[in-house]
Amino acid sequence: MNAQNNLSHNSHAIVIGGSMTGLLTARILINHYNRVTIIERDRLPDQPIYRPGVPQSRQGHVLLERGRAILEELFPGFQEEIVARGAHPLDMAEDLAWLTPFGWGIRFDLNVIMLSCSRFFLEWNVRRRLNAFPQIKFQQGSEVKGLLMDAEGVLVTGARVRTGEEEKPLFADLVVDASGRNSKAPQWLEQLGYLPPQETIVTAHIGYASRVYEFPEGLDADWKGFLVQTLPPYQPRGGFLLPIEGNRWLVTLGGGDGDYPPGDEEAFLEFIRTLPTPVMYDAIQKAKARSPIYCYRGTQNHLRQYDRLSQLPDGFVALGDSVCAFNPIYGQGMTAAALSALLLDRTLKAWQKDSLWGFSLHFQKKLAKENAPLWEMATTEDCRYQTVVGMSPTPSVRFMHGYMDRVVALTTESVFVRQTLLNVFNLLTPAIALFHPKILLRVLKKVLLGGVRDRAKASKPLPSQFKLQNHA
């Protein structure tokens, strides 16, 4: 079933979910299908505002360099357009002041760009671009209640969709589940007589609290964004301050091991004051709050192993958070969603058969391989927390903790090491790059010389010379 075969008849694809994964998936599916319908439970606002279907959208989000490049490929001119409306392109090495557990990350011009704006602003701009494609239709205020099957029970032929009190069949050649962490696809498969995928949940009991502030006048700072990295298990608190549309900051605090940032103003400010540098606290003292404090704790890593099923009906695939959702502290969720949509595009293009027989499991296995390093990265880091559930720190995990501590320490003094780490973080380079001989030899030297501060000592407040005007 190659693209030419699909476009030769009135082919139709359904995407379940209108969040970032669903929007990008719909965009790539018009390369293969004449019509694409996005089924979304919410009524989508015509302004960049919060909607209930994306409860995490009030927290801080960034689109990493790899994700930014994918959006630019799918929607040429997207960055220029969204920046003109108020988003901020930040060079992660130059514009972002990054306080690691071992000191300040060295600053230099790298041109690895992340887009900083609110989550609902980003989605709203993507929806605006999708509206230019007549092949794509949004079916709002609707909910998928199950899958439709052929008479043999081996091919998904559409979905049962409820809108208001009415439930109707909607037929399609392909159904894509992009409904996120709370996907009902495992239950739908069970209803059809298939085994559901095994599920793994790893949680470090991390929570967030976010608030919007107005840009203060006369701010004397040489950074555009600010990040305080956590230090579990000694210092489970961290946070970041990023510019968003409307000349505002979004301040997001995070705490692990159940040390959740609070939702009342006095305790929120006190939480910021306890971070190992006064820079963020000093900055917001000069700013006016423009929103309530919003808390969020749905941060588990959640893996559904569709790739390990012996049988999966064809005509159906799942991707994005419906398959593999990461602790959002690592900022890779939206970029991982973009990568999964791009993988679906490539896999469909390479599929040289005239039907979808065998395609579903084939795709889920490819997706699992792509998600594996991201899953390992997120869960390995979460194993630093004392209360982690769902995974135990093995000797190899503890080795990686020690190795990465030394790599992060090197980012405070080496341009090459920080550039490599940021490239890995932005999903531009495989993680194996962190074992480049130049890095490995420097790590070994630090081990032999004992050059890395003990993590427990590093959790103490930094010297007072790290002020708002002089932090680098």
Last residue of a domain, one of 378, 407, 432: 378
Same domain, 175 and 218: no
pLDDT, position 306:
98
Same domain, 211 and 292: yes
Q: What is the 3-state secondary structure (H, E, C) of 241-258?
A: EEEECCCEEEEEEEECCC
Same domain, 284 and 324: no
Length of the chain: 472
pLDDT, position 1:
45
With respect to residue 306, please indicate whether it lies within any of the assigned structural domains.
yes
The total number of structural domains in the chain stands at 2
With respect to residue 144, please indicate whether it lies within any of the assigned structural domains.
yes
What are the tokens at 15? 């995407």
Terminal CA-CA length for the chain = 55
With respect to residue 73, please indicate whether it lies within any of the assigned structural domains.
no
Same domain, 465 and 325: no
Same domain, 55 and 157: yes
With respect to residue 130, please indicate whether it lies within any of the assigned structural domains.
yes
What pTM, to 2 d.p., does this model score?
Answer: 0.92
Same domain, 312 and 428: no
Distance CA 61, CA 52 (A): 17
Query: The CATH number of the domain where 415 resides is what?
Result: 3.30.70.2450
Element holding 283 (H helix, E strand): helix 279-285
Peptide bond connecting 233 to the previous residue in cis, omega within 30 degrees of 0:
yes
Element holding 156 (H helix, E strand): strand 156-163
- Look up residue 433 and give its DSSP letter: G
Look up the domain containing 228 and give its range: 87-117+205-298+394-472
Same domain, 289 and 312: no
| Phi and psi at residue 376, to the nearest 5° | -65, -40
With respect to residue 160, please indicate whether it lies within any of the assigned structural domains.
yes
Same domain, 217 and 293: yes
What are the tokens at 216? 């203060």
Distance CA 409, CA 104 (A): 9
Same domain, 143 and 54: yes
Same domain, 158 and 106: no
Element holding 295 (H helix, E strand): strand 294-296
Inter-residue contact 198 to 448 (CB < 8 Å): no
Distance CA 149, CA 52 (A): 31
- Find, among 98, 417, 91, the residue nearest to 276 by Cα: 98
With respect to residue 349, please indicate whether it lies within any of the assigned structural domains.
yes
With respect to residue 281, please indicate whether it lies within any of the assigned structural domains.
yes
Query: The CATH number of the domain where 326 resides is what?
Result: 3.50.50.60
DSSP-derived 3-state class of residue 233: coil
Same domain, 15 and 159: yes
Last residue of a domain, one of 347, 378, 409: 378
pLDDT, position 447:
86
With respect to residue 193, please indicate whether it lies within any of the assigned structural domains.
yes
Inter-residue contact 459 to 259 (CB < 8 Å): no
pLDDT, position 462:
38
Last residue of a domain, one of 318, 349, 378: 378
List CB contacts of 84: < 8 A, sequence separation 6 or more. none
Measured in whole angstroms, how far is the alpha carbon of residue 159 from the centre of its chain?
A: 27
Strands of 25-94, DSSP E? 35-39, 62-63, 88-91
Please list the pLDDT of the chain residue by residue as tens digits (472 residues): 444 444 445 799 999 999 999 999 999 999 999 999 999 999 999 999 999 989 889 999 989 999 999 999 999 999 999 999 999 999 999 999 999 999 999 999 999 999 999 999 999 999 999 999 999 999 999 999 999 999 999 999 999 999 999 999 999 999 999 999 999 999 999 999 999 999 999 999 999 999 999 999 888 889 999 999 998 999 999 999 999 999 999 999 999 999 999 999 999 999 999 999 999 999 999 899 999 999 999 899 999 999 999 999 999 999 999 999 998 888 888 999 999 999 999 999 999 888 899 999 999 999 999 999 999 999 999 999 999 999 989 999 999 999 999 999 999 999 999 999 999 999 999 999 999 999 999 999 988 877 555 444 444 443 333 333 333 3
Same domain, 149 and 286: no
